[in-house]
Chains A and B, each alone.
Chain A
């Protein structure tokens, strides 16, 4: 019995251990999988005609003639949608109708002034009479009861034959009344408010789908309004807004409200707008012309503020610049420190103190590096440049993160130098080489692959850090580094993948509308870090094979 219990306990222990490894593997897959997979949608997707417009207008890419043809075709397909909307809006938007009626009245006044054969008194009389008509029409517009509205319209139209108004602008008023009379028969006046709210949603959805109406100026618009839905997943999302109304309904008392989707066809049943939705559904392809697109320039392009479209080229360049610069600072320091610790120093109090400092440095929280960079490097650059530079810049970022990766490089180099067999050194010294010569020509080359592994790993560490950059020069939107003159770039704020990934996830309202940009950014960051790590693993496995004598 006791033996059985012990065996079960043993099995359980083994099982739990294996399970924890499986859990970790699962965690890795769960974390990496969605980010890498969803991130690829930033590069591979079905692009619509709007995407090609973006490419042509913002990046001067593509064939203008072919695109113009395509645009003409899509505009033809979109035209009925706009027409239906406009027609329906006329009945809903009483404010606009009233404005039009008032406008007609004013026009008539002007026209009467220049009309010959009409005396001032007569003029006043006509105007007063016309004002009455106008007010009746406005009443009819505002009226929510169908019969009453009909009666009011009839009253207006009964004066249609009035010869005083014949041949004047005034006749337009009767035309408007007649239009409205026709319109009245198509929908329920009591629901006008409801229709107006729903119509706003529909119009917004159409606006999001198609972009600004053809022929309208785009100057001064924020980038996200300049073009319509440029990818099919965006089309699908906005089409959902267009085709379905979402309402929150109370199913049970005291329970949270439940979301309910109503097809817009039901919402607008019986009105002139009803056919729009079927029309849209049947003509999506004609209106957008989707085509499978590989947007490899995503990794090169500059993005508009908010990353509504464009790529992450600027962030990649910023990250690479800062990390490369940081390694350039930290590498010599790190390798020489390691050489000293391994080759020269004995085991005394001073050396132990140095080692303790290295370990302490490795344990300092990254945000504290940020604070330090702010009060040391940023202030230093400010002071040295006499206030000419702001201090928060590429250089400050690089210096701060150089301090951060210094212990990583030292430890890796130390290990690599230690791993070189002692016989190498002894042979070189026996041949009469000096210590320095022996180190530079024999030990260092032998340790170089190991040191390289450490450098690659610290590159990946530096590229992934965010907190140290927060106060020393990371920015959500700046000009790309390549736009600065020769030696201006080290003094500029910089966009980086890591800070960018934070910003698009937390701060950026516009980026929240384009999830593929959020995932794309984080995918690029992880991709960069993973490539560096895999490289390091490969280098290390080659080294260990070599040292084993393979």
Chain B
């Protein structure tokens, strides 16, 4: 068979466009391309690992500063004794006087403060958030949902300092004047505001969980004659419990880690409310302590290191909660995948 001139022209054109290359090359044939793609992958991996690096650096640098708070002394016996005394002091005393001589670093009141506002806010935010999620997933028609979702999103978007501002300028005087509470900056105030801030997180995560339960389970329940309330409470919510617990944990994390609102609205008093159920007492949280004292503490002083210890406690606490929530959400996804 002789080749026509057009045929060879076409071939030449195809060769110049690179179409005559085989579709798949072995590494030996295309060394440059192979190495290029490998380095490209490695580069991408390194960039993607930047978040790992960030988390690592955060842990290392916070822990390094906190380390000096616990480890002082020459001989192992000295170090051990110092460490033991420190741990006892930090978790066994409510006296936080880091600038006095001798300084006292009892963090119990601060931890209790964080606990109070977090617990108070969760108490309000969980029913509110869960009911809203139910509303969004099962009750509202599409158009109403389109209106209600942005409301929740806007609540999440408002900066925390604006919430704090609101708490100080409006809620505080309102509590004082309407209810005659001596100081409007107290657990109640901070908890209410934190609840509003935690609701969007709870709503979005638990709504996902409720939706993930799927129609068949709901339809089966309705077919058995259950009302909507019974279906939700007895069937859907129990089926979505992993996701809902994760939602509550994430909401709690938001409240524990929040700084500005509790700094501005919780009253800044280093005490455990007395009696314990009195929510109109002022407290001071761990985050607020860091914010309050971090700005004008001499670097490398013991006080400075003690603040990093608070930071480390917060970091570890949120890390544990986060891992827990992820575990629960992972289980939810695993289950959802199964028919």
A34 proximity list for chain B (CB < 8 A): 166, 170
Residue A6 CB within 8 A of the other chain: yes
Known contacts: A354-B49, A363-B319, A464-B160. The answer to whether A35 contacts B229 by CB under 8 A is: no
Residue B279 CB within 8 A of the other chain: no
B256 proximity list for chain A (CB < 8 A): 365
> Which residue of chain B is the closest to A371 with respect to CB atoms?
B311
Stretch with Cβ within 8 A of B (4 or more), from A75-83, A148-156, A331-339? A331-339
Residue of A365, A465, A471 near B159 (CB, 8 A) is: A465
Prevailing SS type, chain A contact patch: helix
B151 proximity list for chain A (CB < 8 A): 21, 24-25, 28
Residue A368 CB within 8 A of the other chain: yes
In the complex, the answer to whether B153 meets A537 with C-beta atoms within 8 Å is yes
Known contacts: A18-B139, A376-B61, A506-B168. The answer to whether A24 contacts B128 by CB under 8 A is: yes
What's the least CB distance linking A403 to chain B, in Å? 5
B64 proximity list for chain A (CB < 8 A): 375
Residue of B152, B162, B228, B308 near A522 (CB, 8 A) is: B162
Alpha-carbon distance A464/B127, docked complex (angstroms): 27
Residue of B19, B163, B287 near A31 (CB, 8 A) is: B163
Stretch with Cβ within 8 A of B (4 or more), from A7-15, A116-124, A191-199, A275-283? A7-15
B134 proximity list for chain A (CB < 8 A): 17
In the complex, the answer to whether A339 meets B44 with C-beta atoms within 8 Å is yes
Number of interface residues of A (CB under 8 A): 82
Stretch with Cβ within 8 A of B (4 or more), from A43-51, A139-147, A204-212, A340-348? A340-348
In the complex, the answer to whether A368 meets B139 with C-beta atoms within 8 Å is no
Most chain A beta carbons < 10 A, residue from B154, B162, B232: B162
Known contacts: A18-B135, A21-B132. The answer to whether A361 contacts B51 by CB under 8 A is: yes
Stretch with Cβ within 8 A of B (4 or more), from A88-96, A236-244, A265-273, A525-533? A525-533
Residue A489 CB within 8 A of the other chain: no
A160 proximity list for chain B (CB < 8 A): none
What's the least CB distance linking A145 to chain B, in Å? 46
In the complex, the answer to whether A367 meets B227 with C-beta atoms within 8 Å is no
Residue A463 CB within 8 A of the other chain: yes
Known contacts: A16-B131, A361-B51. The answer to whether A24 contacts B155 by CB under 8 A is: yes
In the complex, the answer to whether B155 meets A368 with C-beta atoms within 8 Å is no
Residue A436 CB within 8 A of the other chain: yes
Known contacts: A10-B229, A16-B131, A501-B165. The answer to whether A32 contacts B158 by CB under 8 A is: yes
What's the least CB distance linking A201 to chain B, in Å? 24
A506 proximity list for chain B (CB < 8 A): 168, 264
In the complex, the answer to whether B321 meets A363 with C-beta atoms within 8 Å is yes
In the complex, the answer to whether B153 meets A363 with C-beta atoms within 8 Å is no
Alpha-carbon distance A425/B262, docked complex (angstroms): 49
In the complex, the answer to whether B311 meets A24 with C-beta atoms within 8 Å is no
What's the least CB distance linking A45 to chain B, in Å? 19
Residues of B59-90 contacting chain A, CB below 8 A: 61-62, 64-65
Known contacts: A20-B132, A367-B291. The answer to whether A344 contacts B41 by CB under 8 A is: yes
In the complex, the answer to whether A467 meets B260 with C-beta atoms within 8 Å is yes
Alpha-carbon distance A518/B165, docked complex (angstroms): 9
Residue B164 CB within 8 A of the other chain: yes
Alpha-carbon distance A369/B290, docked complex (angstroms): 12
Residue of A31, A368, A460, A464 near B58 (CB, 8 A) is: A368
Residue B32 CB within 8 A of the other chain: no
In the complex, the answer to whether A367 meets B257 with C-beta atoms within 8 Å is yes
A356 proximity list for chain B (CB < 8 A): 323, 326
Known contacts: A17-B132, A20-B131, A24-B151. The answer to whether A363 contacts B253 by CB under 8 A is: yes
In the complex, the answer to whether B257 meets A366 with C-beta atoms within 8 Å is yes
In the complex, the answer to whether B148 meets A21 with C-beta atoms within 8 Å is yes
In the complex, the answer to whether A466 meets B160 with C-beta atoms within 8 Å is yes
Alpha-carbon distance A502/B167, docked complex (angstroms): 12
Residue A410 CB within 8 A of the other chain: yes
Alpha-carbon distance A271/B213, docked complex (angstroms): 83
Residue B12 CB within 8 A of the other chain: no
What's the least CB distance linking B191 to chain A, in Å? 14
Residue B117 CB within 8 A of the other chain: no
Residue B54 CB within 8 A of the other chain: yes
B55 proximity list for chain A (CB < 8 A): 357, 360-361, 364
A502 proximity list for chain B (CB < 8 A): 161, 164-165, 260, 264
Residue of A7, A354, A366, A435 near B51 (CB, 8 A) is: A354
What's the least CB distance linking B332 to chain A, in Å? 15
In the complex, the answer to whether B322 meets A360 with C-beta atoms within 8 Å is yes
Residue A359 CB within 8 A of the other chain: yes
Residue B318 CB within 8 A of the other chain: yes
Alpha-carbon distance A10/B57, docked complex (angstroms): 52
A465 proximity list for chain B (CB < 8 A): 159-160
In the complex, the answer to whether A27 meets B62 with C-beta atoms within 8 Å is no
Residues of A486-504 contacting chain B, CB below 8 A: 498-499, 501-502
Known contacts: A27-B196, A32-B158. The answer to whether A13 contacts B229 by CB under 8 A is: yes
> Which residue of chain B is the closest to A471 with respect to CB atoms?
B294
Residue B48 CB within 8 A of the other chain: yes
Residue A470 CB within 8 A of the other chain: yes
User: B202-236 interface mask toward A, CB cutoff 8 Å, 1 = contact, 0 = none?
Assistant: 00000000000000000000000001111011000
Residue of B51, B58, B131 near A407 (CB, 8 A) is: B51
B230 proximity list for chain A (CB < 8 A): 6, 9-10
Known contacts: A10-B230, A365-B315, A371-B62. The answer to whether A471 contacts B48 by CB under 8 A is: no
Residue A318 CB within 8 A of the other chain: no
User: A394-408 interface mask toward B, CB cutoff 8 Å, 1 = contact, 0 = none?
Assistant: 000000000100110
- Would you list the 3 A-B pairs with minimal beta carbon distance, nearest first? A464-B159, A365-B257, A13-B229
Given contacts A28-B151, A470-B295, 6 further A-B contacts (CB under 8 A): A23-B128, A337-B51, A365-B287, A366-B160, A466-B260, A518-B169
22 A-B pairs (CB sep. < 8 Å):
A6-B230, A10-B229, A17-B135, A31-B163, A31-B196, A35-B165, A363-B250, A363-B318, A365-B314, A367-B257, A367-B290, A368-B314, A371-B307, A372-B62, A410-B51, A432-B19, A467-B260, A501-B162, A501-B165, A506-B264, A518-B169, A522-B161
Partner-B contacts on A (CB < 8 A):
6-7, 9-10, 12-14, 16-21, 23-25, 27-28, 31-32, 34-35, 333, 336-337, 339-341, 344-345, 353-354, 356-361, 363-372, 374-376, 403, 406-407, 410, 432, 435-436, 457, 460, 463-467, 470-471, 498-499, 501-502, 505-506, 518-519, 522, 525-526, 529-530, 533, 537
Partner-A contacts on B (CB < 8 A):
19, 37, 40-41, 44-45, 47-52, 54-58, 61-62, 64-65, 127-129, 131-132, 134-136, 139-140, 148, 150-155, 157-166, 168-170, 196, 199, 227-230, 232-233, 250, 253, 256-260, 264, 287, 290-291, 294-295, 307-308, 311, 314-315, 318-319, 321-323, 326
